[in-house]
């Protein structure tokens, strides 16, 4: 913060001095946005009900003075819906871009290299997840040669600190000093090579002591793009060294790696994408896995999930949580548009752990040993590998320009293998049919009806292992000012943690003008797992009132 204040004062002093001598003609542009969120009601933990209130106001301001951009966010989160309470300036930066291809930024920023195997920092307030970097970044990029066969280069260096608050345990904070150097070279418009190196020193709280872990993360990637074919591949190698302390009595060195590739092809009415992932950033024994293990895939690593992200409410209730430390698999996605009014989407995905493990201790203790296999680069559907698979098909059709329909079917299976008692392994199988119907009249009025039906089978249920979920919602919108939605969800799950069998929610959004929008909702929300970029947390059921006001000027 002190360094940032010095830079800020220096820039302001320079502009003021230049202006006093009549050497600078100020060109000023400013923008401000504000988001207010308020909620009051109850959260449910099992059948217990607790009062829940939150108030959040985020003000983002941006000032452009002769190409020098000053930005800040003033945060009033007291209390915050998810995460730590905070009042004050939590984001601030200075940025400058020059025509020669240099970009400079000091302060807070987020960065992604390639597809995120070695570096992908982002913020999601709904998950209380933030891996933003507080430091400095310099980027240089230049294009050489003729337009038909240009040669492009890009170089970036960054350094800064990450204060990562564990979104599952808000009392736990990890601190990282991160350094990264990235180079990108495109000798021809059809091919690009990238090379990145990340080095970090982490300070992690461990059982009353601090654990220091130093990590090296080199990554290499290539992107090939001609006509209708695009191929991308990236490989990252991870080396972590844990210093001894009262928790780890001897030094630990852990090696891991990750590979991701994507092939996309489109021609005429068909588009096909094939993703493959092989993440081995921290292979370890079943009794040694932990979300806080210092040698795990670190918070600033967020590779692609290589699985479909759904808009359906009920399908999203049972997401597959990707294990970046130990997962192999992929997906195929096919889009077919036989006419301009009709589109079909087909998706299939599969994933599993790499290895099985067996207990080789003949006594009362447990000593796991890995069972190696030569084809560990291929996912397995054997339950001992905790497999996941999904099949999804969807059709969209504009019957007329005013009438739109969408019908889908999703079938998935997710297994969480119990190493100590395989018979107690949890296998959740779901079949979901979402239906959507939309009718537009008088060009500005739209009615939308959504109906979703889902059948769930959970192998570890005590009673009836199969139950049914249903969701119905009706929306009306009048462009461009108002929209209203009423939704209800039902279940016949006798083991629903809250003991409820229905949830009702009404929501209204009104756009006062181009700069101001108000959103109000009241009712009950079922809760469950919520995921972004492979990061998932359980959100408790909520009942009550929510208000949101968004302003831009």
End-to-end Cα, the chain, rounded Å: 28
- Cα dihedral 203, 277, 429, 449 sign: positive
Q: What is the mean pLDDT of residues 83-88?
A: 94
Higher pLDDT among residues 310 and 10, named by residue? 310
Write 337-342 long-range contacts (CB < 8 A, 24+): 337/269, 337/270, 338/269, 341/397, 341/398, 341/399, 342/395, 342/396, 342/397, 342/398
pLDDT in tens, 479-526: 999 999 999 999 999 889 888 999 999 999 999 998 999 999 999 999
Tell which residue, 27, 168, 170, 11, has the closest CA to residue 96: 11
Tell which residue, 23, 101, 122, 31, has the closest CA to residue 69: 31
pLDDT in tens, 280-291: 999 999 988 888
Q: What is the pLDDT of residue 404?
A: 97
Q: What is the mean pLDDT of residues 29-42?
A: 96
pTM exceeds 0.85, yes or no:
yes
Domain boundaries, the chain: 305-553
Residue % of the chain over a pLDDT of 70: 96
User: Where does the pLDDT of residue 268 fall: very low under 50, low under 70, confident under 90, or very high at 90 and above?
Assistant: confident
For residue 185 the two structure tokens come to: 């070279």
Q: What is the mean pLDDT of residues 375-386?
A: 96
CA atoms within 13 A on the CB side of 517: 13
Q: What is the pLDDT of residue 99?
A: 86
222: left (phi over 0), alpha (psi -120 to 50) or beta: beta
What is the distance of C-alpha 155 from the center of its chain?
26
pLDDT in tens, 234-267: 999 999 999 999 889 899 999 999 999 999 999 8
Q: What is the pLDDT of residue 168?
A: 86
Containing 446, the helix (H) or strand (E) segment is: strand 445-458
Q: What is the pLDDT of residue 427?
A: 96
Please determine, for residue 323, whether its predicted confidence score (pLDDT) is greater than 60.
yes
What is the distance of C-alpha 224 from the center of its chain?
26
Which residues are CB-contacts of 72 (< 8 A; sequence separation ≥ 6)? 60, 61, 89, 91, 92, 93
- 305-553 maps to which CATH number? 2.40.160
Tell which residue, 132, 61, 63, has the closest CA to residue 95: 63
- Using CA atoms, how far residue 171 sits from 121, 248, 396, 468, in Å, is 21, 22, 46, 38
Work out the mean pLDDT of the chain and round it to a whole number.
Answer: 92
Q: What is the pLDDT of residue 103?
A: 95
DSSP state at residue 291: T
Phi/psi of residue 122, each to 5°?
-160, 170
Residue % of the chain over a pLDDT of 90: 80
């Amino acid at each position: 913060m002190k360094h940032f204040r010095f830079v800020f004062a220096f820039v302001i002093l320079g502009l003021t001095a230049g202006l006093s001598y009549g050497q600078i003609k100020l060109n000023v542009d400013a923008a401000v946005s504000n988001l207010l969120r308020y909620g009051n009601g109850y959260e449910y933990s099992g059948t217990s009900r607790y009062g829940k209130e939150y108030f959040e106001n985020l003000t983002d301001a941006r000032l452009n003075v002769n190409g020098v951009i000053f930005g800040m966010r003033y945060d009033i989160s007291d209390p915050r819906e998810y995460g730590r309470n905070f009042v004050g300036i939590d984001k601030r930066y200075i940025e400058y871009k020059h025509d020669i291809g240099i970009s400079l930024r000091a302060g807070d920023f987020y960065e992604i290299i390639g597809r995120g195997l070695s570096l992908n920092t982002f913020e999601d307030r709904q998950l209380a997840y933030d891996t933003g970097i507080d430091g400095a970044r310099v980027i240089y990029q230049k294009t050489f040669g003729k337009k038909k066969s240009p040669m492009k280069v890009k170089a970036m260096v960054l350094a800064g600190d990450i204060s990562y608050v564990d979104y599952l345990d808000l009392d736990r904070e990890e601190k990282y000093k991160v350094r990264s150097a990235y180079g990108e070279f495109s000798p021809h418009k059809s091919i690009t090579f990238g090379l990145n190196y990340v080095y970090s020193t982490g300070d992690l709280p461990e059982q009353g002591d601090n654990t220091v872990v130093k990590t090296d993360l080199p990554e290499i990637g290539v992107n090939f793009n001609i006509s209708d074919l695009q191929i991308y591949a990236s490989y990252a190698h991870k080396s972590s060294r844990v210093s001894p302390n009262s928790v780890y009595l001897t030094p630990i060195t852990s090696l891991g790696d990750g590979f991701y590739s994507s092939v996309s092809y489109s021609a005429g009415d068909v588009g096909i994408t094939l993703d493959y992932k092989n993440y081995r950033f921290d292979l370890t024994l079943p009794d040694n896995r932990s979300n806080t293990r210092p040698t795990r895939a670190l918070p600033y690593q967020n590779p692609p999930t290589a699985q479909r992200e759904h808009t359906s409410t009920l399908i999203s209730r049972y997401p597959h949580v990707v294990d970046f430390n130990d997962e192999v698999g992929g997906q195929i996605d096919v889009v077919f548009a036989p006419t301009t009014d009709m589109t079909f989407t087909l998706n299939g995905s599969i994933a599993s752990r790499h290895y099985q493990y067996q207990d080789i201790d003949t006594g009362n203790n447990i000593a796991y040993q890995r069972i190696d296999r030569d084809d560990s680069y291929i996912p397995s559907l054997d339950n001992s590998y905790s497999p996941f698979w999904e099949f999804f098909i969807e059709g969209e059709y504009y019957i007329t320009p005013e009438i739109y329909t969408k019908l889908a079917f999703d079938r998935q299976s997710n297994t969480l293998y119990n190493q100590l008692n395989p018979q107690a392994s949890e296998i959740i199988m779901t079949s979901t049919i979402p239906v959507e119907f939309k009718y537009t009249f008088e060009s500005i009025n739209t009615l939308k009806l959504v109906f979703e039906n889902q059948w769930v089978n959970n192998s570890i249920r005590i009673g009836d292992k199969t139950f049914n979920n249903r969701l119905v919602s009706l929306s009306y919108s009048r462009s461009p000012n108002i929209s209203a939605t009423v939704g209800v969800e039902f279940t016949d799950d006798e083991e629903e943690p809250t003991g409820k069998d229905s949830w009702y929610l009404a929501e209204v959004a009104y756009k006062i003008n181009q700069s101001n929008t108000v959103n109000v909702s009241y009712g009950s929300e079922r809760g469950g797992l919520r995921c972004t970029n492979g990061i998932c947390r359980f959100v408790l059921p909520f009942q009550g009132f929510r208000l949101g006001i968004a302003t831009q000027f």
